[in-house]
Structure 1
Amino acid sequence: MYLEHLSLTDFRSYAQVDLELSPGVTVLVGSNGLGKTNLVEAIGYLSSLSSHRVSSDAPLLRFGTEQALIRGRLVRGAQKVTVEVEINGSRANRARINRANPIRSRDVLGLCRSVLFAPEDLALVKGDPASRRRFLDDLLVVLMPRHAATRQEYDKVLKQRNALLKSARSARFSRGGVTEGHLSTLDVWDAHLAAAAANLLAARLDLVERLRPHMAEAYAQLTDGSKLLRGLYRSSLDPAGEAAGQDDAGTPDAGGLPRATSASEAEDLSLCTVEELTALYVKALADSRPRELERGMSLVGPHRDELELLLGQAPARGYASHGESWSVALAMRLASYYVLDEDSHIPDNQPILILDDVFAELDVQRRRKLAAMVGGAEQVLVTAAVAGDIPAELAGAHVQVIPGGILPGTANPEGEAAHDGA
């Protein structure tokens, strides 16, 4: 699969821009601040309905506007499909397929598969556990779009349960105290949270198992192979795992070597059915209730979990050098690409690979290694401030990005011209 045409209206810095693309490698070249990343961000949004740069949609709207439009024409073998997403400032987003009637935006998930690596991905290694949880959940949505509803259901139940716990905590300091009504209602929300948490946890555990060998292989290929990259899922179902995943009410130390039993515990959970995980959550929620009533928040659930990254025997967070951290983050995104690629049951559905400002941070040797790894993808989109940063192994089309658009006459490999629709 590849993206043949991208059109943006009032998205970020663009009032209107149209970009023609072809299979193979396309390099978007331009000085910093001209909008290269805005173009690839739009493709990422078309794929996941989220931005890799911001957590809300408001900054995606061109300043002073109330609506943005992303439209992409995708080619899969002999088939073409046009997908568009309408991002609205004051109402729900909408989408269309082949210019048909509007549908829910999440109904287009799965049509455009892409993997985007950007400098912000250093947070996958150096940031708090929320960054790594989002990495897993965003990939789940692209891999299996039904998990958008799984995550949405969990977030909804968690919000309601936290509101109840906060109310109960306030009641503890009033004359009435925590009532039977609080406790009976909490029993109901415990059951809802356990069921939603079990579905999300089961999906994450399966995904980590699929990612693990690809992460190790990608990191070895990018480096000299002297250190093994591993990912261990630390669940809040285990008391030590809950502590490792804290970030909402207290961030744990970045150091501290993992316990030797972590891997076996993760494997045990991965063997559980959803029903068994639900039962484990029910028990864990009952055990943690006194602490939750005291603190007014949910202390058990996937929102407290951690994907721990290990380089050799030490955690990557806090121990990895800047270069190692960059390679770990890149290996995670490449692993995502490999998982999506091997999962595809539809012919010609290889994901689009996007590398945003990657090569400027790599030495010559690692540039060549990365180029060799990605050169076989059906479509690779690369951004660069300086064309000379791109290895010769990634020869392809060069599109010049200028303020507000694309330089007219920029040639693609077939000799056609990309154009600016502004």
Structure 2
Amino acid sequence: MYVSHLRLVDFRSYGDVLLELDPGVSAFVGANGQGKTNLVEAVGYVATLGSHRVASDTPLIRQGAPRAVVRAKIVREDRHMVVDLELNPGRANRARINQSAAGRPRDVLGILRAVLFAPEDLALVKGDPGERRRFLDDLLVARAPRMAGVRSDYDRVLKQRNALLKSASGRMFGQRSAPDLGTLEVWDAHLAETGAELLAARTALVAELRPRVLEAYAGLADSGGPAVSAYRCSADPEGGEPPADRPRLVETLRAAMAGARDRELRRGVSLVGPHRDDLHLQLGDLPAKGYASQGESWSFALALKLAAFDLLRADGDDPVLILDDVFAELDTERRRRLAERVRDAEQVLVTAAVPDDIPKELDGVRFTVSAGVVEHA
């Protein structure tokens, strides 16, 4: 799988740019602030409908423009598909697949699969649990696009339940009429059902990732290991991994919500469910967060992304691998090891501020990027 053409209209710093890309390595080289990352960000957006740099779409639209358009032509074996995404601030985005309107933008998910690693991914190790949950959920959607609907359903139910808890908390402590706990129990059931499906998928995913993370870290770093990853479930008082089958997960979640009822009513928020879980990362006998060095943290974050790449590759197609300003953060030996590991990917997109940051093992097509102009080197 690879992207053969990429066109951006009013996306970030680009008024209108068209790139033709080949399989293998393509490197975008230029000083900081010239638009290199904007190009690979657009590829990542086609794959995930999200940016690795910002939480909303508004910053992706060029200042003063009414909308932005990203068009990508994706080659998968002998099939060609064109995805058009129109980003509309304040209105619903629109998507087209091979010139036909898609029912929803998320219908394009799964057409392009990509794994992107950028400096922001250091938050996978050093950041809050939400960063790690997003990593797992994005990988779930890449492997099975229907999981986008599962995640959306869970978020909708969680929002409704939180609104009810907040209202009930206000009635309890405002000395007004007692809250209707019967309605809350109905939402408990909905949250347990949707949460169990998401939780079962995450648990199975972490089990598949675990040996790959261990192996990838060992191949990148000489210290701090072994790298251990484990799912931590908020519904388990011990914080352990949840049971594997969905019916038991439903009961586990319902029991945990019942046990947390008083605390949830006092705080007016849901305290149990996949939205409170974490992917626990450990180096040797110590948690990676707070104990790993900068180099070890970089290696662990890379290992997570390489494990994701290996898992998607095992499903049958190489995803596009994007390395955004990664090599400047690595020492010479880690650069070499990373390059050796990824150089046989079907398509690798690299950004770098200076040519010397790119290891010789990733020799390929090079583009220069300056003030939004992209040219073959």
Q: TM-score range by the shorter chain?
A: over 0.9
Moved more, 114-123 or 58-67: 58-67
1:17 aligns with 2:17: yes
| Residues 54-111 of structure 1: per-residue CA shift (max 9 Å, x gap) | 1111111111223111101111222211111111112211111111234311111000
Which SS does the other structure have where 2:289 is aligned? helix
Shift in Å at residue 295 of structure 1? 0.7
1:115 aligns with 2:115: yes
The whole-number CA distance in structure 1 between the counterparts of 2:213 and 2:129 is 18
Which SS does the other structure have where 1:115 is aligned? strand
The whole-number CA distance in structure 1 between the counterparts of 2:97 and 2:184 is 42
2:365 is matched by which residue type in structure 1? A
1:203 aligns with 2:175: no
Q: Which residue of 1 aligns with 2:68?
A: 68
Contact residue 27 and residue 365 of structure 2 kept, 8 A: yes
The whole-number CA distance in structure 1 between the counterparts of 2:99 and 2:35 is 27
Q: Which residue of 1 aligns with 2:226?
A: 228
Q: Which residue of 2 aligns with 1:398?
A: 366
Which ranges of 4 or more aligned residues in structure 1 deviate by more than 6 Å? none
Q: Which residue of 2 aligns with 1:261?
A: none
1:167 aligns with 2:176: no
Which SS does the other structure have where 1:5 is aligned? strand
Q: Which residue of 1 aligns with 2:58?
A: 58
| Residues 329-374 of structure 1: per-residue CA shift (max 9 Å, x gap) | 0111111100111023xxxx31000000011111111111111000
Shift in Å at residue 387 of structure 1? 0.5
Which consecutive residues of structure 2, in runs of 5 or more, have no partner in the other structure? none
| Residues 247-267 of structure 1: per-residue CA shift (max 9 Å, x gap) | xxxxxxxxxxxxxxxxxx42x
Which SS does the other structure have where 1:22 is aligned? coil
Shift in Å at residue 174 of structure 1? 2.4
1:96 aligns with 2:90: no
After superposition, the Cα gap between the structure-2 partners of 1:202 and 1:39, relative to the gap in structure 1 and judged at 3 Å, is: same
1:373 aligns with 2:345: no
The whole-number CA distance in structure 2 between the counterparts of 1:135 and 1:81 is 26
The whole-number CA distance in structure 1 between the counterparts of 2:255 and 2:102 is 44
After superposition, the Cα gap between the structure-2 partners of 1:270 and 1:342, relative to the gap in structure 1 and judged at 3 Å, is: farther
Which consecutive residues of structure 1, in runs of 5 or more, have no partner in the other structure? 242-264, 412-422
Shift in Å at residue 226 of structure 1? 5.9
Q: Which residue of 1 aligns with 2:127?
A: 127
The whole-number CA distance in structure 2 between the counterparts of 1:289 and 1:102 is 42
Which SS does the other structure have where 2:37 is aligned? helix
| Residues 221-267 of structure 1: per-residue CA shift (max 9 Å, x gap) | 001266110111110111242xxxxxxxxxxxxxxxxxxxxxxx42x
Contact residue 355 and residue 383 of structure 1 kept, 8 A: yes
1:47 aligns with 2:47: yes
Q: Which residue of 1 aligns with 2:217?
A: 219
Select which of 322, 326, 342 maps to 1:354.
322
The whole-number CA distance in structure 2 between the counterparts of 1:21 and 1:132 is 31
The whole-number CA distance in structure 2 between the counterparts of 1:83 and 1:225 is 43
Identical amino acids, percent of aligned pairs: 58
- How big is the alpha-carbon RMSD for the aligned residues of Structure 1 and Structure 2? 1.2
Contact residue 75 and residue 81 of structure 1 kept, 8 A: yes
- After superposition, residues 331-342 of structure 1 pair within 5 angstroms as 331-342=303-314
Contact residue 224 and residue 296 of structure 2 kept, 8 A: no
The whole-number CA distance in structure 2 between the counterparts of 1:174 and 1:358 is 53
Equivalenced residue count is: 377
Which SS does the other structure have where 1:318 is aligned? coil
2:321 is matched by which residue type in structure 1? L
Shift in Å at residue 178 of structure 1? 2.3
Which SS does the other structure have where 1:103 is aligned? coil
Q: Which residue of 2 aligns with 1:144?
A: 144
1:366 is matched by which residue type in structure 2? R
The whole-number CA distance in structure 2 between the counterparts of 1:120 and 1:49 is 17
Moved more, 170-179 or 293-302: 170-179
TM-score normalized by structure 1?
Answer: 0.87
Contact residue 66 and residue 90 of structure 1 kept, 8 A: no
Q: Which residue of 1 aligns with 2:295?
A: 323
1:83 aligns with 2:83: yes
Q: Which residue of 2 aligns with 1:259?
A: none
Contact residue 218 and residue 331 of structure 1 kept, 8 A: yes
Select which of 241, 255, 272 maps to 1:283.
255
Shift in Å at residue 286 of structure 1? 1.0
1:27 aligns with 2:27: yes
The whole-number CA distance in structure 2 between the counterparts of 1:178 and 1:307 is 38
Shift in Å at residue 202 of structure 1? 0.4
The whole-number CA distance in structure 1 between the counterparts of 2:224 and 2:285 is 12
Contact residue 12 and residue 62 of structure 2 kept, 8 A: yes
Shift in Å at residue 17 of structure 1? 0.9
Contact residue 219 and residue 225 of structure 1 kept, 8 A: no
The whole-number CA distance in structure 2 between the counterparts of 1:167 and 1:229 is 44
- After superposition, residues 303-318 of structure 1 pair within 5 angstroms as 303-318=275-290
Which SS does the other structure have where 2:281 is aligned? strand
The whole-number CA distance in structure 2 between the counterparts of 1:175 and 1:320 is 49
Select which of 187, 191, 199 maps to 1:189.
187
Which SS does the other structure have where 2:101 is aligned? coil
Shift in Å at residue 209 of structure 1? 0.7
2:137 is matched by which residue type in structure 1? D
| Residues 387-409 of structure 1: per-residue CA shift (max 9 Å, x gap) | 011111111010011212313xx
2:273 is matched by which residue type in structure 1? G
Which SS does the other structure have where 1:82 is aligned? strand
Contact residue 320 and residue 346 of structure 2 kept, 8 A: yes
